[in-house]
Structure 1
Amino acid sequence: MTEKTYNVLFICTGNSARSIMAEALMNHAGHGRFKAFSAGSHPTGKVNPLALQALTWLHLPTEGYRSKSWDEFAQPDSPRLDFVLTVCDNAAGEVCPVWPGQPMSAHWGVPDPAAAEGSDEERMRHFHDAALTLKRRIELMLALPLARLDALSLQHELREIGKTGKTAAV
């Protein structure tokens, strides 16, 4: 019997940094059990180069990512989503499209590294911190016994993950 593959959509307003990093992290750590996508409510149209540098720092692929609208995932022929996770506070407060399949949703707010000011080194540190926070939260999600949790318990766990997983060390 083959194990279910869960589709996860990470949403952020611009889909240029946090959601892109989350997509890469989930696709890597999910080992085929999870297929991640990312999108934005108001996509910038480009991936932030520092987000790609953070992925390189984590030894993850950086090819093939693009900033895209969440409308791509609200179409009848879109992948059936199991989870929709917002990773920025702006996207969490927006009215989302109706997602096919009624996926489980939660907010995993992470400070916007693209808004950080300072030297190149200081700005890169903010991208590393955001990537590590997302990595930890994704690891926590992957550790959940999905097949054994009822919907209410799973929803609770996903929301709790969004309140934790903050780290400043590798």
Structure 2
Amino acid sequence: MKKIYFLCTGNSCRSQMAEGYAKELFPSDKFEIRSAGVEKHGLNKNAVQVMAEDGVDINQQYSKLIDLNYFNSANLIVTLCGDARDKCPVIPPQATSIHWPLPDPAKATGTEKEKLQAFRKVRNKIKDNLFELVQNYK
């Protein structure tokens, strides 16, 4: 079974959304999907909301720190922000590494509507990236 690990700073938004989509798109009998952060910030309610709008329930996911055992056995490691890429442990030799430089929607300012739009924009980019990844990573 192939292991995919999505990493970002606080494992509250981007990596959680990527994990949610990946679990929908990759066959569970061939892929184990996890996410984590270099810190734990808790699952962001706006991430949960915008994913639910697209039919993906991430409500039961939770913020986790990088598990070095899983990290060292992963086949694919995807960093979703510069902080995770820069603070990430050395990528193990068997793993492929991909970087998706996505802005942190949790740092969006403005009205609640504007903040949710920032989350939707990042969610849509993650979804597009994952559709491409599914096509190219077997």
Residue 97 (structure 1) shift:
5.3
| 1:28 alignment partner, SS class | helix
The Cα of 1:63 is off from its aligned counterpart by: 3.1
Letter matched to residue 117 of structure 1: T
Deviation at residue 31 of structure 1 after TM alignment: 3.0
Q: Is 1:133 paired with 2:121?
A: no
SS of the equivalent of 1:143 reads helix
Identify the match of residue 34 of structure 1 among 31, 47, 50: 31
- For residues 8 and 130 of structure 2, the distance between their equivalents in structure 1, rounded to whole angstroms, comes to 16
**Percent identity between the aligned chains?**
26
Would the alpha carbon gap of residues 98 and 145 (structure 1) be closer, same or farther in structure 2, given more than 3 Å must change?
closer
Deviations 1:10-62 (A, max 9, x none): 00010100000000010101132433110001121x10000000110110122
Q: Does the CA contact (< 8 Å) of 2:2 and 2:75 recur in 1? A: yes
Distance across 2 between alignment mates of 1:31 and 1:135? 16
- The answer to whether the 8 A contact 1:10-1:22 is kept is yes
Shift of 1:86: 0.3
TM-score by length of 2: 0.90
Which of 79, 84, 107 does residue 86 from structure 1 map onto? 79
Please report the RMSD computed on the Cα atoms of aligned residues, expressed in angstroms. 1.8
- Name the counterpart of 1:159: none
Change (3 A) 1:41 1:59: same
Q: Write out the 4+ residue segments of structure 1 that deviate beyond 2 Å after TM superposition.
A: 31-35
Q: Give the Cα–Cα distance (whole angstroms) in 2 for the partners of residues 98 and 83 of structure 1.
A: 10
Distance 2:120 2:137 in 1: 28
Higher Cα Rg: structure 1 or 2? 1
Match of 1:113 among 105, 108, 111: 105
Partners of 1:145 and 1:118 lie apart in 2 by 38
For the pair 1:103 / 2:99, whether they are aligned, the reply is no
The 1:141–1:48 alpha-carbon spacing in structure 2 relative to 1, beyond 3 Å, is same
Q: Any gaps of 5 or more consecutive residues in structure 2? A: none
Q: What is the CA–CA distance in structure 1 between the aligned matches of 2:107 and 2:126, rounded to whole Å?
A: 17
Inter-CA distance 95–63: structure 2 relative to 1 (3 Å threshold) = closer
Does the CA-based 8 Å contact 1:26-1:34 persist in structure 2?
no
Counterpart of 2:53 in structure 1 is 57
Greater relative CO, 1 or 2 (CA 8 Å, sep 6+): 2
Cα–Cα, structure 1 residues 136 and 59, in superposed 2: closer, same or farther, change >3 Å?
same
